[in-house]
Structure 1
Amino acid sequence: MRYYRIERGESPSLIVEDESAAYDLTATEAEPTSFLELASAASLTDETVDDVARGLIDEAPTVELSTVREHLVRPLDPDEIWGAGVTYAISQESREDEGGLAEAYLDAYEADRPEVYFKATPSRTVGPNETVGIRGDSDWDAPEPEMTIILYEDEIVGYTVGNDMCSRSIERDNLLYLPQSKIYAKSCAIGPCIATDEAIGDPLDVEMRMEIIRDGDTVFEDSTSTSEMVRTCEELVDYYTRYNEVPESTALLTGTSIIPPDDVTLEADDEIHIEIENVGTLENTVEQL
């Protein structure tokens, strides 16, 4: 199943989509307004999120998917957003001409320990159809499309599309500047929904595609498969939680293998479309901060 959050009144509504229709779960007697409420109920009853949702569908009114798309907001507000890097070969290969960065990224790619880092808070994260930001002190900015794991109490409960915005020129200057290149206002986007195991199938065997559109023209597009990842989702979660006081809910971005070339940098008003098979398409425009 896929779970959306929409706003078309004073409060958000939680929508679930199965193979036959979309249903407004908030209009049921239980009145859940967030995916995390379902995850909490599932944890208490030893069921899956989809089991809990199926128990509500019979009394839930249907809603048109066109209405859902029109009123989409961020599908959840995780307590923290983390990232993983150099999980695809192209991620370290793209740094081969960047001086001292090359060795560091190659080491991370080949090492037992993956790169895992803090990415954002909810206040720095946007949802579908909102603007992502590019820094005023960077002259080379790129979106990074990533399969994103949703965790509730350390357990994987779903997946979404993530955009790990990166100020590549700042990262290139000095690897110690990585936090500044990654963590800033509107530096992350997630959405459009949360897909559970039933919907996505094998998260390491789905197609991913990104397109950057400027003034109606495509300036970059590429596609890949998550099967190219050299880390499993469980491995990344394991290292994220090691000796870490993790919050109740987390979004964990898993790295990218779609990287625009050096001569492509984001500009204000660009459109970024990121699609992951069996999940959906995350669309954002770009804002100069």
Structure 2
Amino acid sequence: MPTAFDLSALPTDHESATLAGRVQLAEGPVPVLLRGGRVIDVSASAATSADLFDLPEPGRADGRDLCAVTELTVGGGAFGLLSPIDLQCVKACGVTFAISAIERVIEERARGDAGKAAAIRSELEQRIGSGIRTVVPGSEEAARLKEALIDAGMWSQYLEVAIGPDAEVFTKAPVLSTLGWGTDIGVRSDSTWNNPEPEVVIIVNAAGTVVGATLGNDVNLRDFEGRSALLLGKAKDNNASCAIGPFVRLFDARFSIDDVRDAELDLTIDGPEGYRLEGHSSMNQISRDPLDLVAQTLSEHQYPDGFALFLGTLFAPVQDRDEAGRGFTHKVGDTVRIHSCRLGTLTNRVTTSRDAAPWTFGIRALYRDLAARSG
């Protein structure tokens, strides 16, 4: 049975927000705008969301009235809500917050073993916690801290991207593979230590201009990446492992990059056994400015269809779930909610990547739909 879209997932000020998304119709996916509680199909002005974000004023695109927001559904129905992006590359930045740097070092030193993590965490925070939280990446102070940590035998590749001049930027997911609000997200069936990563995702168009922001879940396998950084691809890119949405909030007179810099994110995880975890992430604690992360992504690369960029997270769950000292890991049936007042709420239920719906709609399928509509 289709699931109806929950209006509470919209930003608290959605009536004055410029929101863009994608909806699945019988003839294929179309980019849409929300106006006055109505969903407007703007595919006549922009065939894809990538085209929409390239317009000088995407929020003013012309279109036809499609349906009420209350008629949107997930899992079937005439108006299926999708991830709000399509042809954009999906990039992600890691270790952009001090606490995430410490947690990545813990993963590395524990070799992906959650049982060893608590003791290592205590030692690391005692030795470097205050220093790494205040240092500016790439600064002379950061270089001095690096030398001191090398001398103490405490250096790590994760600290390099945390305080060094170069940010970690990697490809998170293939084009057209991201999921939207209300869908099942997947963790690898052979992972025993994993967690969600609630993040702000900024949308960059083909000209390299940041045009808006949304929410994302960069599902993370702590055991795989902890065993070896060379397993990053296997840890990050799996079926159903990337959720974005529910809508992209476009920049306008009421919402700008400064609102991204000041965003507050709340995370709740409700488990099928009654377990509940709550977390919080403040973008004003990020070590690198969002526009610097965009510039580093663009420094030696072009993106003719634009890209979505995950900005990293402050959230690193250490609350025990089952056994003392083993921290948090997902269970099938967990409901994950990522909320930010001005971006809305992204909700997904956890399954395994093996059991999640297979990814079948790729670039060729989109081309066929677009050709059929234009013919």
TM-score normalised per structure 1: 0.85
Match of 2:85 in 1: 76
Aligned with 2:196 (options 137, 143, 154):
143
Match of 1:105 in 2: 158
**1:24-39 paired onto structure 2 within 5 Å:** 24-26=39-41, 30=44, 32=46, 34-39=48-53
Q: What are the superposed Cα offsets for residues 261-287 of structure 1, whole Å, 9 maximum, x if unpaired?
A: 252111112111111231111111112
**1:228-243 paired onto structure 2 within 5 Å:** 228-243=285-300
Are 1:2 and 2:19 matched, yes or no? yes
Aligned with 1:89 (options 81, 95, 98):
98
Give the conservation status (yes or no) of the 8 Å contact 2:107–2:226: yes
Q: What are the superposed Cα offsets for residues 180-205 of structure 1, whole Å, 9 maximum, x if unpaired?
A: 11122222111110111235442111
Q: CA deviation at 1:61?
A: 3.7
The 2-side partners of 1:119 and 1:227 are apart by 23
The 2-side partners of 1:77 and 1:243 are apart by 23
Aligned with 2:327 (options 257, 263, 267):
263
Distance 1:149 1:104, change over 3 A: same
Q: CA deviation at 1:100?
A: 4.5
Q: Which amino acid aligns with 1:236?
A: L
> What value does the CA root-mean-square deviation take over the aligned residues?
2.4
Q: CA deviation at 1:10?
A: 3.7
The 1-side partners of 2:238 and 2:338 are apart by 21
SS in 2 for 1:231: coil
Q: Which has the higher Rg, Structure 1 or Structure 2?
A: 2
Match of 1:226 in 2: 283
> How many percent identity over aligned positions?
28
The 2-side partners of 1:121 and 1:99 are apart by 26
Distance 1:218 1:3, change over 3 A: farther
More off after superposition, 197-206 vs 181-190: 197-206
Aligned with 2:229 (options 158, 172, 175):
175
Match of 2:367 in 1: none
More strand by share: 1
Match of 2:217 in 1: 163
Are 1:277 and 2:330 matched, yes or no? no
Ranges in structure 2 where 5+ consecutive residues have no aligned partner: 1-17, 75-79, 111-154, 319-325, 355-375
TM-score normalised per structure 2: 0.67
Ranges in structure 1 where 5+ consecutive residues have no aligned partner: none
The 2-side partners of 1:119 and 1:225 are apart by 22
How many residue pairs match? The answer is 276
Aligned with 1:249 (options 306, 311, 325):
306
SS in 1 for 2:41: helix
